[in-house]
Amino acid sequence: MRSADALLEVRGLTRRFGGLLAVADLDFTVRPGEILGLIGPNGAGKSTTFNLIAGALRPDAGEIRAGGEPVAGLPPHEIARRGILRTFQHNRVFAGMSVVENVMVGAHTRFRAGLWSIVGARAGARAEEAAVRARAEELIGFVGLAEWREADVTTLSFGQGRLLEIARAMAGDPRLILLDEPAAGLAPAELDRLAALLRGIAARGIAVLLIEHDMRFLLPLAGRVVVLNFGVKIAEGSADEIRHHPAVIDAYLGDPAALVDAARAGESTHAAA
């Protein structure tokens, strides 16, 4: 694939923590509008990969290109400006703000009004504020939190917090959204809603890079999957290829249930198709 077609291109990405090689010479690309799964056992380096892309960590080596532009080593706010927004593995909502204000922070890079026009209460600044608020409310509805729009975020459940993080990242009009285990801790009914939500995001033309442990949840969703183990990419391919890949089966041997579940999930989607 030519790099010009890639939304995100990762080449030779490497990061050490002391003697531990958390991410080793990793290559992959994300194409516009696709859902790319990133899986691997605990400690495989998935979140570290996210942190490297999002600018929260600096790579020791390697290249990251967003729309062809080299972005490795840029600070997180510069990455966000380039349309790459993320959620966190452990909820990091803004506890002192309402749900709608949390989502409006996600739109931070969309604001054009300067401080002077805010202080002067200029019409342009007020219109922009109203437009962003309306859009934030729409996104809150999109993720299914409409009832909690003005709620204090500390009153939300864990699962609602996951959804809020997704709405917040969506508010920045991302080209690419990085979701770190959005399904973790959700009840089965919530999982189905989340899957529909993620398909809805991809349908809007937003690429999704999705970290997930639960293969049963991930494989039916992801067009392609990258598998990490001990920081190394051990496989890459379609959901079907990954399901039957010997190295993946080996890596997950410690957790055969995950594969059995994944296989079943695959069968049920095939049956439905």
Partner 1 sequence: MKPLARWLAAALVLSALAFALSSYHNDVYRKLLLWVTLALGYNFLFGVAGQVAFSHFAFYGIGAYSIVILTFQAGLPLPLAIVAGVALCVAVALAVAIPSTRLEGFYLALATLALAQLFIVVLNEGGAVTGGAGGLADYRLPAILGVRVTGPWYTVVIVLLMLGTMALLARLDRSWFGRACRAVRDSPEAAAAMGVNVARTKVIAFTLTSALAAVAGMAYAFVDNTVNPPIFGLENAFLLLFMVIIGGAGRQAGAIAGAVALYLLPFVLSPLIGHHHALVFGVLMVAAILLQPRGLIGLYDALRRRAA
Residues near partner 1, by CB under 8 A: 54-56, 75-77, 80-81, 85-86, 88, 92-97, 101, 104-109, 111, 113, 115, 118-119, 121, 125, 129, 132, 168-169, 172
Question: Looking at 7, 10, 45, 176, which residue binds ligand ATP (CB under 6 A)?
Answer: 45
Q: Which is nearer to partner 1, 57 or 215 (CB)?
A: 57
89 is a site residue for ligand ATP (CB under 6 A): yes
| End-to-end CA separation in angstroms for the chain | 29
Is 15 or 135 the residue whose CB approaches ligand ATP more closely? 15
Which of 60, 74, 8, 44 has its CA nearest to residue 229?
44
Closer Cβ to Mg ion, 47 or 136, answer by number = 47
Q: How far is the CB of 190 from partner 1 (least distance, A)?
A: 22
Residue with tokens 């249930």: 257
Tell me the two tokens of residue 145.
Answer: 């939190």
Which option in Mg ion, partner 1, ligand ATP, none does residue 191 bind, with CB closer than 5 to 8 A by kind?
Answer: none
Contact between 46 and ligand ATP (CB under 6 A)?
yes
CB 89, min distance to Mg ion, A = 5
The single residue among 1, 19, 42, 112 that binds ligand ATP, judged by CB under 6 A, is 42
Which residues are paired to 17 by β-bridges?
20
**Out of Mg ion, partner 1, ligand ATP, none, which partner does residue 45 contact, by CB within 5 to 8 A per kind?**
ligand ATP
Residue 168 partner contact from ligand ATP, Mg ion, partner 1, none using kind-dependent CB cut-offs of 5 to 8 Å:
partner 1
C-beta closer to partner 1: residue 111 or 158 = 111
Residues 20-39 within binding reach of ligand ATP (CB under 6 A): 20, 22
Please state, in angstroms and rounded to a whole number, the distance separating the CA atoms of residues 266 and 243.
8
Residue placing its CB nearer to ligand ATP in the complex, 8 or 22: 22
Pick 89 or 98: Cβ nearer Mg ion: 89
Q: Can you tell me which of 89, 91, 98, 109 binds Mg ion, judged by CB under 5 A?
A: 89
The binder of ligand ATP chosen from 3, 17, 73, 146 (CB under 6 A)? 17
Contacting residues toward Mg ion, per CB under 5 A: 47, 89
